[in-house]
Structure 1
Amino acid sequence: MNKKDHIIKAALTLLTRNGVHATPMSAIAKEAGTGMGTIYNYYPSKEVLINEIYTMIKKEETALFANFSETLPIKTQFESYYKATLLFFIEHPLYFNFMEQLHASPLITEASRNVGRKTIAPVLSMLTSGKQYRIIKHIDTEELLQFIGGSIFSFIRWFQTQPKINKKTSLKNQLEMVWDAIKE
């Protein structure tokens, strides 16, 4: 792991544990085992660092669409996306905690949001096709995304506090409930 990776890991840990405003760059440098000069060589401000982490997570989310095929039925596409997203954030709890705190923050720049938007291009296409073919409710795409994203965040928050649940059953139930809510 190089210095930049140590800084990212330290920032993720501290930002999710302490919050943005309670995490100075000096604490991140100390946690990363590096000096302030080094951290500022990579990141001139905490906002730049936060946006770097945001775009890094969004780019890693792109892997969720490796097996995504627009030729599959809309329901299958949705199930594939939804399940992969839940599993991604369950397997990366620091990413989830970071995104939960900062996805709607004014600290995230428009350029970073555009990276995130590109990540979900297949989902946008799926929702558009689903509405066109009257498979998905004809509701504004942004509203659908907010609903779907909200269900993901809510489920993962709940999942993190339930050590004895049946993961497979719970994921299946969540997926069915959300599909039933958005289908025509």
Structure 2
Amino acid sequence: MTDDSRLQAKRPVSALLAGPYGHPFHPILVTLPIGTWVTSLVFDIASHVVHRPGFLTQSSEWLIGIGVIGALPAAMVGLLDLFAIPSGTPAFRTGLVHMTLNLLVTAAYVANFLWRYGDHSSGRSVGVGQLVLSALSVAALGVSGYLGGKLAYRYGVRVADETTQAEGYTPDGRRGSTRTPV
């Protein structure tokens, strides 16, 4: 791979939509679905522990729905970041698997939401099947997150180049300064 190809994956397709150079929007947008879905699993488990679980069951349903809505902008921005990666590279293949897993997880949560919709009024714990689906979805989300980390931290997708990063390690913050701290 040429240096130009590597640099291409660091630059946004659209800074307005995907975030400026060195500061992509995708990582911050994924925190909403990840946080809501992990919390919904915690509530699902807790609904089997407390005496009156209806509020946890209802809250979990809401969290799943909010996570699905939050996944939409995260996916759109992530797709823009994928377009910046040259096709036919290990980074691009990793990005495709990451995207596919995320789409499958989102589809599983849509199905889980529809399965639960309106069922919280019974005041019962979350069903075992719904809990298992949530647990499997969170596990798949973890695998996808690992791949997202590989894209950023191993392949440097949408991460500023080393020359730009060096600014943070020079005493005066100037580019190209090679002075070392005393």
TM-score (norm 2): 0.28
Higher gyration radius (CA): 2
TM-score (norm 1): 0.28
Higher helix share: 1
Kindly indicate whether structure 1 or structure 2 has the higher relative contact order, using CA contacts under 8 Å at least 6 residues apart. 2
